[in-house]
Amino acid sequence: MKETPKEKKIHQNLMPGQLSIDGFLGADKRQYTDIISADQAELDKLDLTAKMIADRLEYFTEAAFESYAGSIVIDEKYEVDYDSFRGKLICPFGHSGVYRKGLITLKNLENSIEICWTPLNIHLIREHCFFEGKGSIHRLEPASLGKAIF
């Protein structure tokens, strides 16, 4: 199916150098809509929703951001660190609002799975079910997320 002008603009925004240096697609050659569909199917298999994951990531992000003390242990199971950077990012899908730059790192102390995400990742997952393309620097695999944060 042919892309609409809006879909073309979104795809362009996801490319390197548009809204971020590295972009959001990595080495993934699929259309972003195909990436979203595949990740939604994976979530369905895992019996998870994008909202469940986004809510959980936001919980850890807010707790770590408010700590001001480097890494903290949350719920006696998760070691979380928030590195804040100057600047803000906007949603490549055209939603209004800005998202602070930062990198949150979580280590599940029970299974040693470690993941990293940005505040923008939370929005992209919650509102668009977009976990970024394969090979993207901030790609989050739904299965790994499920094992790490629940």
- The model carries a pTM of 0.95
* Cβ atoms within 10 Å of 24's Cβ, excluding its own: 28
pLDDT above 70 covers what percent of the chain?
99
Given a cut of 70, is residue 1 above it in pLDDT? Answer: no
CB-based burial of residue 140 (10 Å sphere; 0-12 exposed, 13-18 middle, 19+ buried)? buried
| pLDDT tens digit sequence for 84-124 | 889 999 999 999 989 999 999 999 999 999 999 999 999 99
Identify the CA nearest to 43 among candidates 100, 128, 110, 109. 128
How would DSSP label each residue in 1-36?
-PPPHHHHHHHHHHSTTTSSSS-S-TT--S-HHHHH
- Residue 66: per-residue pLDDT: 83
- As a whole number, mean pLDDT of residues 35-55 equals 98
